[in-house]
Structure 1
């Protein structure tokens, strides 16, 4: 049965068909040469929609997701009878590249100047951060991505894939992303994301990202302004003090690194000039670095409050990992399957955020934070099951109805909260599984987190002394 010319061509993702149009899906398939050369019951376009649906229905099985996609469409009996092994092979034929291209085709900023909380003094607010996602403990995943382990290479948990994203603060939309393994550092994965910034953006980042390469790629080359937390050993050499208590500082990269970068065709600027903003949190000194040097035009107090907006990217991670997906490992047991799945999650999350932003601005503009993410996920799942968007007219009508429903379910304005980091999950009542070193996970954490010198640490049973 050839679904390319039959009911399979009408399979959509509800109102998300406004974002994932058939023309766009066919274009990314053709770009990577994944089009089928013979008649298949699972053509490439259908498989793309199936992978995206796996993210919307993350708790359902392969077969159930296919049945949900085919609900209400006549002539899809053969599709509803497809087994899991056929779906796995179809995913393997498709590969991760079309899903990455699909994400990059739709990704970008969503906020307009009227979007509350998206701009500050004419600069678009972007947040940069990374996260780890547990993946199944298969041989392919473990050898490709690796995971946390002891010094003797004894694994202490699931393998993990690392994702570094650049997200829009006002809408939580992921503008750009890079993925790698557990051992790939976040600063290294963040370097390519400079392609998505410009002179009208302010990138807010944690202290682990501040470096000569970060300054060069984001500010010196692309012109973006930076606001990042500084460790105490990167304050640089003070040039002069400013009236508001801040000071201008500079750092000159070492000569060897500058020569190496010059040979690679990416020379560093001779000096990094930035403004240091000192302040205190619970009596402990903190420092912020920014390329906004004028204290009158960009007050230090506002920049300190603005740095807290970096946590908006953590909410985007929570939406992807816990509310859209499942609070556990992903599905795929192969490295290509994991990459395909991560790109699909990022694409679906961006599409959801685009619909939510449309809802927030469809009437008098409200803060996108007030549009419930869980409500949006549930409403859009219903449109997928109902297959409401099979024509352009029904798609527009369904999108209007979705926006109206989301606006009727607005959340109250978010209250400002400050909470120290702490573990809220209670200890398990079950015995802890011990690794080959004989330590529990809690003991492993204490071992790695100890501040004592190595010679003063107690040697665990079975671990190198």
Structure 2
């Protein structure tokens, strides 16, 4: 996914018998110089990062705190030079504190990148950039919740499943393009402010109900969606957090009996870059 627009760049899928890194490696076919790829801990192995670096794309990946990479040199921004296999990386260790009306929580994060110049790519900027990785989760939500309504795929054959997945991704992509094109015409309007739900409802009205269609004319479907999005722009993005919880597929009401907090809170964020000591 492109973090700025949430548009699809590439996709790979298959049986669960293969891990997500297997399908992730297929996506390296779409990576090239000029990209910065944001990766979670599941994709931070030496082999995977080397495969990404071989495409000449940059990466910014979260790595496990259990790893003990050597400190080869220290930079003024608090990051340090290290090596994962045959790839030179900068390691950024930081302490992130999130404060809400329910209290304060602090966590330690370790990021690795092959952007080695601390002057062009300061550690604080990269830590802030990594937060954008969550845009892919918003894209998954749009497909699974907004488009599918949490329904599972209907097909029982591999060919049918592939057809459904590509149909979903194609429809999703058209809507994202319409949102991005529309917000681009409005100065200061970020694609984040374009509502996917508004675009989806408008598209359904046009296609299913044939709303506003006049015979012998060209139907401006994308323009109609874009106008609906611009008429109902969402406010600028606010920093909010929602406690994560294990999904309960058998009952959506189980959260009540377990007293799981599912509310969303407005938050403030503070970042402290940690400076490592160089081993003798």
Q: Give the TM-score category using the shorter length.
A: 0.7 to 0.9
Q: 1:345 to 1:400 in 2, by over 3 A?
A: closer
CA separation in 1, counterparts of 2:14 and 2:164? 13
CA separation in 2, counterparts of 1:394 and 1:415? 39
Task: Report Cα offsets for 1:434-465 as digits up to 9, x if no partner.
Answer: xxxxxxxxxxxxxxxxxxxxxxxxxxxxxxxx
Q: 1:374 to 1:389 in 2, by over 3 A?
A: farther
Q: Secondary structure at the match of 2:89?
A: strand
Unaligned runs of 5+ in 1: 1-166, 253-270, 431-465
Q: Secondary structure at the match of 2:241?
A: coil
Superposed, which structure 2 residues align to 1:185-264 within 5 Å? 185-219=19-53, 221-252=54-85
Give 2:8's aligned residue: 174
Contact 1:200-1:224 at 8 Å conserved across structures: yes
Which has the larger displacement, 416-425 or 209-218?
Answer: 416-425
CA separation in 1, counterparts of 2:68 and 2:142? 35
CA separation in 2, counterparts of 1:239 and 1:389? 69
Task: Report Cα offsets for 1:38-80 as digits up to 9, x if no partner.
Answer: xxxxxxxxxxxxxxxxxxxxxxxxxxxxxxxxxxxxxxxxxxx
Number of aligned residue pairs: give it: 243
Say whether 1:395 aligns with 2:219: yes
* TM-superposed deviation, 1:423: 5.1
CA separation in 1, counterparts of 2:186 and 2:106? 45
Q: 1:238 to 1:429 in 2, by over 3 A?
A: closer
CA separation in 1, counterparts of 2:135 and 2:24? 17
Give 2:89's aligned residue: 274
Give 2:268's aligned residue: none
Whichever of the two has the greater Rg, that structure is 1
Give 1:372's aligned residue: 195
* TM-superposed deviation, 1:222: 1.3
Contact 2:199-2:228 at 8 Å conserved across structures: no
Unaligned runs of 5+ in 2: 97-104, 258-280
Contact 2:43-2:49 at 8 Å conserved across structures: no
CA separation in 2, counterparts of 1:308 and 1:275? 18
TM-score w.r.t. the length of structure 2 is: 0.79
Task: Report Cα offsets for 1:381-420 as digits up to 9, x if no partner.
Answer: 11113184987x6134x43333222211111112111344
Task: Spell out structure 1 runs of 4+ moving beyond 6 A.
Answer: none
Superposed, which structure 2 residues align to 1:60-459 within 5 Å? 167-219=1-53, 221-252=54-85, 271-281=86-96, 282-364=105-187, 366-385=189-208, 386=210, 388=213, 394-396=218-220, 398-422=221-245, 426-427=253-254
Give 1:105's aligned residue: none
TM-score w.r.t. the length of structure 1 is: 0.49
CA separation in 2, counterparts of 1:284 and 1:381? 43
Q: Secondary structure at the match of 1:320?
A: helix
Give 2:100's aligned residue: none
CA separation in 1, counterparts of 2:229 and 2:167? 24
Give 2:264's aligned residue: none
CA separation in 1, counterparts of 2:56 and 2:21? 18
